[in-house]
Structure 1
Amino acid sequence: MEKESGSMKSSSQTRTEGSKEFEFTARDFERVRALIYKKAGIALAESKQEMVYSRLARRLRATGISSFVTYLDRLEQGSGETEEWEAFTNALTTNLTSFFRESHHFPILAEHLKKVKEPIEIWCSAASTGEEPYSIAMTACEAFNTLTPPVRIIATDIDTNVLNTGANGVYSIDRLDKMSPERARRFFLRGKGAREGQVRVRPELRQMISFKQVNLLADNWGVSGPFDVIFCRNVMIYFDKPTQGKILDRFAPLMKPDGLLFAGHSENFLYVCDEFKLRGKTVYELDPDRKTSSAKLRRA
């Protein structure tokens, strides 16, 4: 009976694998893991094989390539094909976000903005589709009680598709469901006609923010600071500890001595970098003993 059961299981597995449009072996998956780690620092878990297949199968269809082996060969051999490298990276990055996500951070941000010297510089380093930098901008407007606060925000992400969404500032109206009616009325314009059911961020907020592609693994980030605030939330979880440490070490000299670093709810930086100390719930500041390093500001 055990042999018969084992035979049936094998047959079932064969049918499942055969039902896929493209063959995707464990070796293919390991190649994908190595490529996305090298390109973007993302450490894909072994449990992500089906997710990777689903997302990259779309790229095979779009490019007309019939196998993962051929597709990955072309990526590895054609390093100059920047468009497909970009599409590959975009496909494997996850962009879960919302307005005022992890809401406990924003009152802390508002109080900090009132205390620091103007003009105020903020870097949102994992901007996704824009909800986070716009939440920062709304907080700044409320802190200074004006739609034109003395705040400049740089919003970056590795994914160019989501950056385009953020720069456009148009969202489905249901994205505002958890926002107070007063806040929604103040900061968004309702669409009419063909735009019914959509909202657009007010132009004053869009003018506060510069959207730009940045790969946190790149040698040159193209941002210089010094920053009063850096948001780096829910992106470090995709990096291993050594990569996290390198990025944090590069953040430190880009921050003003009294700057704040905001992290995601599941991220803990205390054991990966000596430059920061915990100030509050997932909010960090430069360690007082190391603040002198921020005076030696270097370009990223």
Structure 2
Amino acid sequence: MQAAVSPPRRGRLDQFRDLVHQETGIRLPPSKDVMIASRLRKRLIALEMPSIDHYLSHLFDDDGLYNELPEIIDLLTTNKTDFFREQAHYRLLKERIIPEALARTRAGQATKFRFWSAAASTGAEAWSAAMVLAQAASVDKRLDWRILGTDISTRVLDIARTAIYPVSEFHPIPPELRSTYIMTGKGEDGLRGRIVPELRARVRFAEMNLIETPYRIDHGLDVAFLRNVLIYFEPALQNRVVRAVAAHLRPGGYLVVGHAESMIVRVPGLHAVAPGVYRNEERR
């Protein structure tokens, strides 16, 4: 079936854009109408509907919203991610943040290190951090690390949990880490790689909507990566999310945002130490 992709009636589309903003915090301006129509085309085909107007009527008039909302979120949220994206942040993790954590631990005691990837997408960020932490733990056995990755999209979380990717996606990974932490093999759709079991045992993923505060995760975290998601929020929501994430850091913990988001962070107690990197100086 060939589904129509032309934008629907303005009033009904305004209602849809308000829905997306309410559920995700993402404001879609009218300039995104054609993009919305294009991305929703998959649902028209799946439900055998002739137009987006029919689909929106299904959502708002026929009680279809409950079942369709996860599909809408998956289609309209941006899930751009790469292994070792913005590599300077991983260098700082290796060269400063992990050594600081080890230095504060007495000899012979384990160093409990907790990392949060707050907009995990398909998992590349969390797995990149896992490789850095695993390499550090191979040198200093005291390092007891765990990672939590969260995202609003259940589809990308399924990919993250499976931890299987096309081999081409691993190119940004430093060769010594790639050879140690990636298993490769031939799949039905070409050469694939999977994160090794010893890393998968220390990383978990969970669904989370960042606009729904407070968050039901542990406090006292060493690092929170909140990268390349704030740019989709309006200023008031940006500030609220930054504050909510920072509240889960231990004193001396680090908040890391995308390089393009550095000017967004204006929270007392968070002090810039590098582009996009802030140390929590608050004492609790």
1:53 and 1:263, CA in 2 relative to 1: closer, same or farther beyond 3 A? same
**Aligned twin of 1:112:** 97
From the two aligned structures, give the one with the greater strand fraction. 2
Unaligned runs of 5+ in 2: 106-110
1:158-201, Cα deviation, whole Å (9 max, x unpaired): 01111000100101011122333322110101114647511111
* TM-score for the superposition, normalised by structure 1: 0.82
Does the aligned pair in 1 maintain the 2:4–2:52 contact within 8 Å?
no
**Aligned twin of 2:33:** 49
Rg larger for: 1
Deviation at 1:268, TM superposition (A): 2.7
**Aligned twin of 1:8:** none
Whether 1:36 aligns to 2:29 is: no
- In the alignment, the residues of structure 2 paired with residue 32 and residue 199 of structure 1 have an alpha-carbon distance, to the nearest angstrom, of 38
**Aligned twin of 1:157:** 151
Of 46-55 and 270-279, more deviation after overlay is shown by 270-279
**Aligned twin of 1:243:** 237
Does the aligned pair in 2 maintain the 1:141–1:147 contact within 8 Å?
no
Does the aligned pair in 2 maintain the 1:241–1:272 contact within 8 Å?
no
Whether 1:129 aligns to 2:122 is: yes
| Structure 2 counterpart of 1:107, one-letter code | R
Deviation at 1:114, TM superposition (A): 2.1
- In the alignment, the residues of structure 2 paired with residue 26 and residue 137 of structure 1 have an alpha-carbon distance, to the nearest angstrom, of 46
* TM-score for the superposition, normalised by structure 2: 0.87
1:29-81, Cα deviation, whole Å (9 max, x unpaired): 42232111100101224432221110012212222334434433443467785
Unaligned runs of 5+ in 1: 1-18, 296-300
Deviation at 1:113, TM superposition (A): 1.4
Deviation at 1:108, TM superposition (A): 0.7
**Aligned twin of 1:218:** 212
Of 62-71 and 42-51, more deviation after overlay is shown by 62-71
- In the alignment, the residues of structure 1 paired with residue 197 and residue 18 of structure 2 have an alpha-carbon distance, to the nearest angstrom, of 41
**Aligned twin of 2:135:** 142
- In the alignment, the residues of structure 2 paired with residue 161 and residue 222 of structure 1 have an alpha-carbon distance, to the nearest angstrom, of 21
- In the alignment, the residues of structure 2 paired with residue 210 and residue 147 of structure 1 have an alpha-carbon distance, to the nearest angstrom, of 23
Aligned length: 272
1:23 and 1:160, CA in 2 relative to 1: closer, same or farther beyond 3 A? same
Identity %: 31
**Aligned twin of 2:108:** none
**Cα RMSD (Å) of the superposition?**
2.4
Does the aligned pair in 2 maintain the 1:245–1:272 contact within 8 Å?
yes
- In the alignment, the residues of structure 2 paired with residue 252 and residue 193 of structure 1 have an alpha-carbon distance, to the nearest angstrom, of 41
1:192 and 1:56, CA in 2 relative to 1: closer, same or farther beyond 3 A? closer
Post-superposition, which runs of at least 4 consecutive aligned residues in structure 1 deviate over 6 A?
none
- In the alignment, the residues of structure 2 paired with residue 60 and residue 273 of structure 1 have an alpha-carbon distance, to the nearest angstrom, of 43
Q: Please, which of 224, 235, 239 is the counterpart of residue 230 of structure 1?
A: 224
Does the aligned pair in 1 maintain the 2:148–2:204 contact within 8 Å?
yes
Q: Secondary structure at the match of 2:278?
A: strand
Deviation at 1:265, TM superposition (A): 1.5
1:144 and 1:71, CA in 2 relative to 1: closer, same or farther beyond 3 A? same
1:215-235, Cα deviation, whole Å (9 max, x unpaired): 011245321222110000001
**Aligned twin of 1:72:** 56
- In the alignment, the residues of structure 1 paired with residue 45 and residue 189 of structure 2 have an alpha-carbon distance, to the nearest angstrom, of 31
- In the alignment, the residues of structure 1 paired with residue 258 and residue 12 of structure 2 have an alpha-carbon distance, to the nearest angstrom, of 31
